[in-house]
């Protein structure tokens, strides 16, 4: 299997502890947000996309706030969305109250008794596209998942996966869904099991050493095992 | 009525407000979307209670296992809460250890199955046909998210009712920051067919707030033009882009 830039980036990332796919997704989001702050707010296509996605999701909205000098870009993008929203609200025409008989008939037919006008407005305000930063992250993650599967038999990659502590649950499941053959799935499952076993052992030790008799024996690795376990179950901080 | 005096309101004998209304009333006096505030407070309360009392509760544990832990945001919140309050991670460790043990067992069991079900030579499907084991597939939503959704639904319904009644709770809401985008959408879903006035009131409040926000955003964007550099911005204009993020993406978790 040919080795390209993705392979070497993956290999480099596997040298760091934690789920490599999370890290690649995180880097993709940072790159995306930095590009946005640098030039994206005046890009017509991006603004149109941000309008359809109604801005960013909660995580990336606040992450963008933390990018240096993002105030103006956020203001420009938000202004577009808020103005579009405002136009929708101002043109709202509520459904007039139906007759009692009609309400009773709707209830008898098991139809919702909501206000059709209000519901239509609620639907019109729903995002039509996913958050652009989530999209950038998902695209990058998928590329690295496929690269990982293509090279999972490569000893450097498989050793890297174990040394890094395996994949987080979300990405492990994605990798398994993407795996094309049973061999790939079996190999990934084996790597994940090999990565999990030592963590589980230190986690058990961490719990046991909360017993007052063993408190003095706690090591640094055991002390941080619960944080590693959390990252493994829920992904790296700030990725989702 | 003094701001944020929900308890005083109850003491004054206002029979129209129950505990849910009072919490909403108080949240309206805080900065940001009141439904977001109540959701965040409710979720935090659940996680604190879990750490204090329920880590070893069988029912809670089964629910945690069924959803394969919490969603990333609530897992991080649980970790931060335990670290901040107790400077430790025993509760988190016990929950993770249980889940990881089950997952490891499933991996060992199913690896054998996968190893022995090879595809025909030369055949390479685009998508996997490998079924993930039961222990690696979430069977329910994150419990904290579920609770949060319940709180949002309950409070949205109350707010719509308050809009129709136009009483003291509505007055408090009318002076508040208002609902964020997502919660306004959800509140509109609770407007009944014979209650258009509630929708109109909710929307009027949002329109007023949004008009002020757009004007502030315009001033903020203009202030970056070199013609206006050096001009002193009001606090409202300076913070307008942050208010816009809160409005569009919800309050910071």
More confident residue, B132 or A186: A186
Full DSSP string of B94-129: HHHHHHHHHHHHHHHHHHHHHHT-PPPTT---SS--
Retrieve residue B212's tokens: 């002020």
Q: Are residues A145 and A214 in the same domain?
A: yes
Residue A173 covered by a domain = yes
Is residue A114 classed as helix, strand or coil in its secondary structure? strand
Nearest Cβ partner for A118 among B107, B128, B188: B188
Residues A122, A183, single domain; the answer is: no
Let me know whether A110 and A198 are in one domain: no
Q: Is residue A201 assigned to a domain?
A: yes
Closest partner CB to B217 (pick from A79, A85, A206): A79
Interchain CB contacts (distance < 8 Å): A and B:
245
Are the CB atoms for B194 and A117 separated by under 8 Å? no
pLDDT of residue A96: 67
Query: Which of B43, B108, B114 is best to mutate for the A interface (most A CBs within 10 A)?
Result: B114
Q: Domain residues for A118?
A: 95-126
Question: What is the SS3 assignment for A39?
Answer: coil
Partner residue facing B79 (CB), from A75, A85, A230: A230
- Mean of pLDDT values over A220-239: 88
Q: Are residues A141 and A203 in the same domain?
A: yes
The Cα of B1 is separated from the nearest Cα of chain A by a number of Å equal to 31
Give A5 to chain B, closest Cα distance, Å.
23
As a whole-number percent, the residues of chain A with pLDDT over 90 amount to 52
A203/B244 CB distance under 8 A:
no
The two structure tokens encoding residue B204: 């009027």
B132 touches chain A (CB under 8 A): yes
pLDDT in tens, A73-99: 999 999 999 998 888 888 887 766 666
Chain B nearest-CA residue for A226: B93
Which residues in chain A are closer than 8 Å to B239, comparing Cβ atoms?
none
Do A140 and A122 share a domain, yes or no? Answer: no
Same domain for A122 and A175? no
Does the beta-carbon distance from B213 to A82 stay under 8 Å?
yes
Do residues A20 and A13 make contact, with C-beta atoms less than 8 angstroms apart?
Answer: yes
Say if A37 falls within a structural domain.
no
Residues A200, B89: C-beta atoms closer than 8 Å: no
Please compute the mean of the pLDDT values over residues A114-137 and round it to a whole number: 88
Query: A161 lies in a domain?
Result: yes
- List the alpha helices (DSSP H) in B166-195: 168-174, 181-189
Contact status of B213 with chain A (Cβ, < 8 Å): yes
Walk along chain B (253 residues) and give the pLDDT tens digit of each residue.
444 454 545 544 455 578 889 999 999 999 999 999 999 999 999 999 999 999 999 989 999 999 999 999 999 999 999 999 999 999 999 999 999 999 998 888 777 766 665 555 554 544 555 667 677 888 899 999 999 999 999 999 999 999 998 889 999 999 998 999 899 999 998 888 777 888 889 999 999 999 999 999 999 999 988 888 888 889 999 999 999 999 988 888 7
Contacts of B221 in chain A (CB under 8 A): 72, 75-76, 79
Contact status of B207 with chain A (Cβ, < 8 Å): yes
Cα dist from B147 to A206, B27, B42, B126, B159, whole Å: 30, 18, 8, 38, 18
Tell me what pLDDT residue B115 has. 60
Residues A186 and A101 in one domain: no
- Are the Cβ atoms of A193 and B73 closer than 8 angstroms? no
Is residue A147 one of the residues assigned to a domain? yes
Among candidate residues A103, A126, A149, the one where a domain is terminated: A126
Q: Is the pLDDT at A190 greater than 80, yes or no?
A: yes
Burial B76-107 (b: 16+ CB within 10 A, else e): bbbbebbeeeeeebbbbbbbbbbbbebbbebb
Q: Which of B95, B188, B226 should we substitute to test contact with A (largest number of A Cβ atoms within 10 Å)?
A: B188
The per-residue DSSP string of B13-68 comes to T-TT--HHHHHHHHHHTSSS-HHHHHHHHHHHHHHHHIIIIITT-HHHHHHHHHTT
Cα distance between residue B176 and residue B26, in whole Å = 10
Instruction: Determine, for residues A229 and B93 on separate chains, whether the beta-carbon distance falls below 8 Å.
Output: yes
Q: DSSP letter at A55?
A: S
**Same structural domain for residues A118 and A141?**
no
Give the one of A89, A115, A177 whose C-beta lies nearest to B128's C-beta. Answer: A177
Number of domains observed in the structure of chain A: 2
In the DSSP assignment, the letter for residue A92 is: -
**Could you tell me which residue, A122 or B135, shows the higher pLDDT?**
A122
Same domain, A164 and A229: yes
Residue B183 CA: distances (Å) to CA of B147, B151, B153, B212, B252: 15, 11, 9, 19, 14
Residues of A in contact with B72 (CB under 8 A): 170, 234-235, 239-240
Contact B130 A179 (CB under 8 A): yes
Q: Are residues A112 and A172 in the same domain?
A: no
d(CA A36, CA B224): 17
pLDDT at residue B1, rounded to an integer:
41
- The reply to whether B190 touches chain A by the CB within 8 Å rule is yes
Comparing A1 with A230, the larger pLDDT belongs to A230
User: Are A161 and A210 in the same domain?
Assistant: yes
pTM to 2 decimal places: 0.81
Mean pLDDT in chain A? Answer: 87
CA A137 to mean position of chain CA atoms:
7
Residues A163, A190, single domain; the answer is yes
């Amino acid at each position: 299997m040919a080795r390209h830039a993705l392979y070497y980036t993956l290999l480099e990332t596997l040298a760091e502890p934690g789920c490599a796919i999370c890290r690649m997704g995180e880097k993709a989001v940072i790159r995306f947000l930095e590009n946005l702050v640098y030039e994206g707010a005046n890009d017509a296509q991006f603004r149109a996309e941000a309008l359809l996605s109604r801005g960013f999701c909660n995580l990336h909205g606040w992450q963008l706030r933390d990018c240096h000098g993002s105030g103006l870009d956020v203001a420009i993008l938000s202004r577009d969305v808020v103005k579009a929203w405002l136009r929708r609200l101002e043109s709202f025409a509520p459904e007039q109250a139906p007759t009692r008989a009609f309400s009773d008939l709707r209830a008898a037919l098991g139809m919702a008794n909501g206000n059709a006008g209000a519901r239509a407005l609620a639907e019109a305000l729903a995002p039509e596209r996913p958050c652009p930063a989530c999209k950038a992250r998902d695209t990058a993650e998928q590329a690295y998942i496929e690269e990982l599967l293509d090279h999972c038999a490569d000893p450097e990659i498989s050793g890297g996966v174990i040394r890094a502590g395996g994949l987080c649950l979300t990405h492990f499941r994605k990798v398994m869904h993407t795996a094309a053959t049973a061999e790939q799935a079996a190999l990934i499952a084996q790597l994940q099991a090999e990565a999990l076993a030592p963590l589980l052992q230190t986690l058990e030790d961490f719990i046991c050493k909360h017993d007052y008799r063993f408190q003095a024996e706690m090591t640094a690795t055991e002390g941080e095992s619960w944080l590693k376990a959390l990252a493994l179950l829920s992904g790296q901080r700030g990725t989702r | 009525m003094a701001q944020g005096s929900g308890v005083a309101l109850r003491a004054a004998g206002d029979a129209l407000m129950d505990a849910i209304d009072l919490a909403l009333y108080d949240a309206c006096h805080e900065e940001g979307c009141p439904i977001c505030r109540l959701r965040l407070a409710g979720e935090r309360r659940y996680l604190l209670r879990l750490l204090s009392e329920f880590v070893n509760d069988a029912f809670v544990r089964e629910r945690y296992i069924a959803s394969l832990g919490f969603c990333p945001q609530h897992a991080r919140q649980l970790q931060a809460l335990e670290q901040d309050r107790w400077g430790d991670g025993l509760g988190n460790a016990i929950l993770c250890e249980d889940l990881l043990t089950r997952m490891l067992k499933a991996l060992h069991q199913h690896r054998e199955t996968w190893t022995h079900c090879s595809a025909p030579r030369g055949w390479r499907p685009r998508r996997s046909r490998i079924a993930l084991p039961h222990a690696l597939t979430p069977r329910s939503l994150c419990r904290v998210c579920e609770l949060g959704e319940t709180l949002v639904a309950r409070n949205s319904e109350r707010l719509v009712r308050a809009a129709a009644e136009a009483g003291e709770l509505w007055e408090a809401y009318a002076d508040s920051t208002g609902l964020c985008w997502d919660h306004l959408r959800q509140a509109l879903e609770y407007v009944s067919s014979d209650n258009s006035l509630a929708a109109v009131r909710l929307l009027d409040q949002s329109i007023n707030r949004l008009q002020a926000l757009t004007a502030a955003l315009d001033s903020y964007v203009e202030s970056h033009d070199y013609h206006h550099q050096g001009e002193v911005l009001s606090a409202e204009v300076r913070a307008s882009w942050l208010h816009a993020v809160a409005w569009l993406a919800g309050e910071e978790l």
